């Protein structure tokens, strides 16, 4: 029995693709896809990116949902991101890799052997959607999302385009993508960190309804030097129907609402609050919100290590890859920026006023 098992392992290793095969598949696919894809150039969080998309409609949608400016002037890009079906450009090796469910947990190790960053989404017991086969080459700045069918893109992909590729590209440059909300007054920003249901998105929406700005309520990029600064990545905010009713009034719910996979509405906030999206701002506070339903919003000091646990757990779940350097970055950030807990009231406009006072005064 032991001999049989060892024989199976040896056979599996013999059939295992090599790192060079993965690199060759990546190079062949991107060369062929670049000839056929619809291209658009964007600038996001100080990154210059050329998107290579399967259709003009997808190129336009993803470019608009990234939070930067679409570039029309001549120039070169630092990064090239592709979404596509390898079979559509006659790349059989890439097509095999795109069928990620057959690769198992070995894929990340294979990518590392090829000096790439990569993940595959593995289906859970409920067959929920997973991440596509995603690879990034730090040496060339080329990233891909391979899918066996565009219909298999996960439902969150268009709401937060190229989340992982931007995460890995910024990590290479010493920046860090964080799973956080944000509110800005002047050039001063607070980052809102915590898991799902902690109040990040609701607090962000309450703030912009009160005249504050934001750089995003889900994923943002933070640079550390010379001072911590947060940069916008995506254009859409996500809010549940109850939050929309609280801020925009019950008449908004009379309109047809398209709910995303989380049961939230994806909103372009500029349609409701013109000028509410900032490009970047200095980070002056790291805040963990708590849905307290209090009469008045209050702030209390929070130990940096406690805030770090909230931030680290969220980053580990939402932003795989480059995690060791991410923890080092988050630790340093909590040492440089004041950390707080915010106990939220039930009134979104009172919350907005409290945040404005905090940011304008530098303390509660």
pLDDT level of residue 258 (50, 70, 90 thresholds) = confident
Let me know how long the chain is.
Answer: 364
Whether residue 144 sits in one domain with residue 187:
no
11 in a structural domain:
no
Query: What's the predicted TM-score (pTM) here?
Result: 0.90
- Average pLDDT of span 191-206: 89
249 in a structural domain:
yes
Mean pLDDT value across the chain = 86
10 in a structural domain:
no
Could you read off the pLDDT of 299-357 as tens digits, one per residue? 999 999 988 888 777 777 778 777 778 888 888 898 899 999 999 999 999 999 999 99
Whether residue 337 sits in one domain with residue 255:
yes
Whether residue 164 sits in one domain with residue 198:
no
Q: What is the CATH number of the domain that holds 262?
A: 3.40.50.300
Q: Which residues pair with 79 in a beta bridge?
A: 49
Could you read off the pLDDT of 41-98 as tens digits, one per residue? 999 988 999 999 999 999 999 999 998 677 766 667 789 999 999 988 988 888 888 7
pLDDT reported for residue 101 = 53
Whether residue 299 sits in one domain with residue 218:
yes
- Which of 23-27, 103-107, 185-189, 345-349 is predicted least confidently? 103-107
Positive or negative torsion for Cα 52, 18, 133, 77: negative
Q: Which of 172, 198, 221 lies at the terminal end of a domain, its last residue?
A: 172
Residue 1, pLDDT > 50, answer: no
């Amino acid at each position: 029995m032991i001999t049989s098992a060892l024989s199976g392992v040896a056979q599996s290793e013999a059939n295992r693709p090599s790192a060079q095969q993965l690199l060759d598949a990546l190079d062949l696919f991107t060369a062929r896809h670049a000839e056929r894809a619809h291209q658009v150039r964007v600038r996001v969080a100080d990154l210059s990116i050329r998107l290579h998309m399967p259709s003009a409609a997808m190129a336009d949608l993803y470019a608009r949902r990234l939070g930067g400016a679409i570039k029309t002037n001549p120039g070169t890009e630092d990064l090239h991101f592709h979404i596509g079906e390898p079979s559509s450009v006659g790349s059989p090796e890439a097509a095999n890799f795109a069928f990620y469910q057959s690769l198992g947990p070995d894929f990340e190790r294979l990518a590392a052997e090829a000096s790439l960053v990569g993940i595959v989404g593995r289906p859970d017991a409920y067959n929920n959607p997973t991440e596509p086969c995603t690879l990034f080459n730090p040496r060339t700045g080329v990233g891909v999302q391979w899918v066996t069918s565009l219909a298999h893109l996960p439902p969150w992909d268009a709401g937060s385009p190229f989340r992982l590729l931007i995460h890995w590209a910024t990590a290479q440059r010493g920046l860090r993508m964080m799973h956080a909300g944000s509110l800005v007054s002047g050039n001063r920003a607070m980052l809102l960190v915590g898991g799902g249901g902690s109040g990040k998105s609701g607090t962000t929406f309450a703030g912009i309804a009160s005249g504050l700005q934001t750089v995003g309520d889900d994923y943002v990029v933070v640079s550390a030097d010379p001072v911590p600064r947060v940069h916008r990545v995506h254009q859409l905010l996500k809010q549940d129907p109850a939050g929309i009713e609280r801020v925009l009034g019950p008449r908004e719910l009379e309109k047809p609402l398209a709910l995303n996979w989380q049961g939230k509405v994806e909103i372009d906030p500029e349609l409701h609050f013109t000028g509410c999206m900032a490009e970047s701002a200095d980070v002056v506070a790291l805040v963990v919100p708590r849905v307290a339903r209090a009469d008045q919003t209050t702030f209390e000091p929070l130990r940096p290590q406690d805030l770090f646990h909230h931030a680290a757990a969220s980053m580990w779940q939402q932003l795989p890859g480059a995690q060791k350097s991410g923890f080092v970055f988050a630790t340093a950030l909590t040492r440089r920026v004041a950390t707080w807990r915010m106990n939220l009231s039930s009134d979104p406009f009172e919350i907005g006023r409290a945040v404005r006072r905090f940011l304008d005064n530098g303390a509660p």
